[in-house]
Amino acid sequence: MNTGQQTTRRLAAGAGRSVCRSCKDTLSRKYASAAAAAVQTDDSSQHIPPVSQTQDSFRINTGVVLSRPPQITRDLHPLESAFFLYQRRLNERTALPFTRYFYYKKRTTADLEWKRKIKERLTPARDIGRYKGYGDEAWNDELLVGAKESDIHHQVEKLIEDAEDTGSPDGDVAPASNASGTKKEADKIERPMPRITEADLKNDVKSLSRQLQRTLYLLVKDKEGRWIFPQDTFGKETLHNAAGRILVDSCGVNMNTWVVGNAPIGHYQRDYLDALKTASGFNEVGAKTFFMKARIMAGQANLKDNKLGLTDFKWLVKDEIKNEVDRHYWHSVKNMLAER
């Protein structure tokens, strides 16, 4: 007699005639199936294959994606530049119907200065050429393609010259240059810093002063000759602390850096051609590197006394990194890098 039949008989005996025939059949089938499943489970447990004494393992590394963020705004798209120029010209043209006394009080220094400058340049426009809004040619107000007035550098220079060329309080032109013909120091206005630096012109990949519009990333050459992000074996520490240690061990203490967050932003797996036997008896078949994000605030990398056997370093943008690193490495790290 199986377990299901015994259970059915006990229930029937305890309940007397209160259990119907269909309930007895259901209980019998249900517990008989459960007992059969239990027997099969016990049998299958006896055939579990033995666990292999030699297991495959991976070396765990911590990598650091150290970056310098953009320092200046990006160049305007040609459409943005054209729209910006259009809006500025439109503002100047719509201001012409208003009398100048709407902006300046009569016989003030600002009013006299405005009259003097209008007499010289023949237009209220300071940086986009001359325009006579009340003549027969007032309709002819279009800039030709390639005109110097549409160049942003020309516009900036004209605005600075206009600011430097100040007049005297009585409306007469003040001497803007000394006897040698050069601008007086008091009247000179400092020009904006160039967007293209000397490091850009020399293509100095070790300088942090290049590619100011984009994000630079630190790449180092390891003892095997591979270009990678700084990395080292992960020890008994957190990923955050390991990233800080690796930056010091690889690039020295003369960098002010900040490790962002406690979680990795990506990982890379490298499989070995031949497994390595470790001291603990495992077969090391590859290495997995988990990357932490970090920013450089000041300083510069110095590999002179590095502890990781590094031989060289570069500061590169995303497009340049693709041409330096291994193809498989690139596919693992590309989505961690900013386009700009």
pLDDT digits (tens, 9 = 90+) for 98-129: 777 888 888 898 888 888 887 877 777 766 66
- Strands 283-299 and 56-68, sheet pairing: parallel
Distance CA 268, CA 290 (A): 7
Residue 16's identity, in one-letter code, is: G
E strand spans, 152-254:
216-221, 227-228, 231-233
pLDDT digits (tens, 9 = 90+) for 163-183: 887 654 444 444 444 545 555
Residue 52's identity, in one-letter code, is: S
Instruction: Retrieve residue 130's tokens.
Output: 């001359």
Q: Are 312 and 331 in contact (CB under 8 A)?
A: no
Distance CA 76, CA 74 (A): 6
Out of 9-23, 66-80, 127-141, 286-300, pick the least confident: 9-23
Distance CA 29, CA 31 (A): 6
pLDDT, position 41: 47
- Strands 231-233 and 56-68, sheet pairing: antiparallel
Supply the Cα-derived Rg of the chain in whole angstroms.
39
Q: Among positive and negative, which fits the CA dihedral 218, 221, 223, 226?
A: positive
H-helix or E-strand containing 60? Answer: strand 56-68
Reduced to 3 states (helix: H, G, I; strand: E, B; else coil), residue 170 is: coil
User: How large is the average pLDDT for residues 48-55?
Assistant: 56
133 DSSP 8-state letter: T
* Contacts by 80-87, CB closer than 8 A, 24 or more apart: 81/150, 81/152, 82/150, 85/128, 85/143, 85/150, 85/155
pTM exceeding the 0.85 threshold for the entire prediction: no
pLDDT, position 133: 67
pLDDT digits (tens, 9 = 90+) for 126-151: 666 676 666 777 777 777 777 888 88
- Nearest residue to 56 (alpha-carbon basis) of 212, 274, 318: 274
Domain 56-71+197-336, second-level architecture = Alpha-Beta Complex (3.90)
pLDDT digits (tens, 9 = 90+) for 283-300: 888 889 999 999 999 999
Q: Is 198's pLDDT higher than 90?
A: yes
Distance CA 161, CA 297 (A): 36
User: How large is the average pLDDT for residues 54-69?
Assistant: 89
∠ CA 290-297-212, rounded to 5°? 95
Give residue 18's pLDDT band: very low, low, confident or very high (50, 70, 90): very low
